[in-house]
Chain A
Amino acid sequence: MEVQKEAQRIMTLSVWKMYHSRMQRGGLRLHRSLQLSLVMRSARELYLSAKVEAHEPGAPLPPARSPDPRLHPREAEAAAEAAPLDGEQSSPEPMDTQEAPRAEEPPARCAPRPAKVSRKRRSSSLSDGGDAGLVPSKKARLEEGEEGASSELRDRLQPPAQAEGAFPNLARVLQRRFSGLLNCSPAAPPTAPPACEAKPVCRPADSMLNVLVRAVVAF
Chain B
Amino acid sequence: MAGAGGGGCPAGGNDLQWCFSQVKGAIDEDVAEADIISTVEFNYSGDLLATGDKGGRVVIFQREQENKSRPHSRGEYNVYSTFQSHEPEFDYLKSLEIEEKINKIRWLPQQNAAHFLLSTNDDLRINLWHLEITDRSFNIVDIKPANMEELTEVITAAEFHPRQCNVFVYSSSKGTVRLCDMRSSALCDRHSKFFEEPEDPSSRSFFSEIISSISDVKFSHSGRYMMTRDYLSVKVWDLNMESRPVETHQVHEYLRSKLCSLYENDCIFDKFECCWNGSDSAIMTGSYNNFFRMFDRNTRRDVTLEASRENSKPRASLKPRKVCTGGKRKKDEISVDSLDFNKKILHTAWHPAENIIAVAATNNLYIFQDRIN
Stretch from A31-39, A97-105, A131-139, A181-189 at the B interface: A31-39
The reply to whether the CB of B30 lies closer than 8 angstroms to some CB of chain A is: no
Q: In whole angstroms, how far apart are the Cα atoms of A42 and B207 in the complex?
A: 8
Flag if A169 contacts B206 (CB, 8 Å).
no
Flag if A27 contacts B96 (CB, 8 Å).
yes
Flag if B99 contacts A25 (CB, 8 Å).
yes
- The answer to whether residues A34 and B94 also contact, given A13-B264, A167-B148 and a CB cut-off of 8 A, is no
Shortest C-beta distance, B324 to chain A (Å), equals 26
Flag if B260 contacts A10 (CB, 8 Å).
yes
The reply to whether the CB of B202 lies closer than 8 angstroms to some CB of chain A is: no
Flag if A34 contacts B149 (CB, 8 Å).
no
Q: In whole angstroms, how far apart are the Cα atoms of A108 and B261 in the complex?
A: 10
Shortest C-beta distance, A38 to chain B (Å), equals 4
Residues of B within 8 A of A7 (CB): 206
Residues of A within 8 A of B206 (CB): 7, 10, 39, 42-43, 46
The reply to whether the CB of A1 lies closer than 8 angstroms to some CB of chain B is: no
Q: In whole angstroms, how far apart are the Cα atoms of A165 and B90 in the complex?
A: 12
Residues of B within 8 A of A166 (CB): 94, 96
The reply to whether the CB of A173 lies closer than 8 angstroms to some CB of chain B is: yes
B interface, over-half SS: loop
- Most chain B CB atoms below 10 A, which of A30, A108, A165: A30
Flag if A26 contacts B98 (CB, 8 Å).
yes
Q: In whole angstroms, how far apart are the Cα atoms of A31 and B149 in the complex?
A: 14
How many chain A residues touch B (CB < 8 A): the figure is 32
How many chain B residues touch A (CB < 8 A): the figure is 31
Question: Of residues 63 to 113 in A, which have CB atoms within 8 Å of B's CB atoms?
Answer: 70-71, 73, 107-108
Q: In whole angstroms, how far apart are the Cα atoms of A13 and B95 in the complex?
A: 26
Shortest C-beta distance, B157 to chain A (Å), equals 11
Flag if A165 contacts B96 (CB, 8 Å).
yes
Question: Of residues 133 to 167 in B, which have CB atoms within 8 Å of A's CB atoms?
Answer: 148-154, 156
The reply to whether the CB of B187 lies closer than 8 angstroms to some CB of chain A is: no
27 chain-A/chain-B pairs, Cβ below 8 angstroms: A7-B206, A10-B260, A13-B263, A25-B97, A25-B99, A26-B96, A26-B98, A27-B94, A30-B124, A30-B154, A35-B210, A35-B213, A39-B207, A39-B209, A39-B210, A42-B205, A43-B206, A46-B206, A70-B149, A70-B150, A162-B94, A162-B95, A163-B95, A164-B95, A165-B94, A165-B95, A165-B96
18 further contact pairs, Cβ within 8 A, besides A30-B154, A108-B264, A162-B94? A13-B264, A17-B266, A26-B96, A26-B97, A27-B95, A30-B123, A31-B123, A31-B213, A34-B152, A35-B213, A42-B208, A43-B206, A70-B149, A70-B151, A162-B93, A162-B95, A163-B95, A165-B94
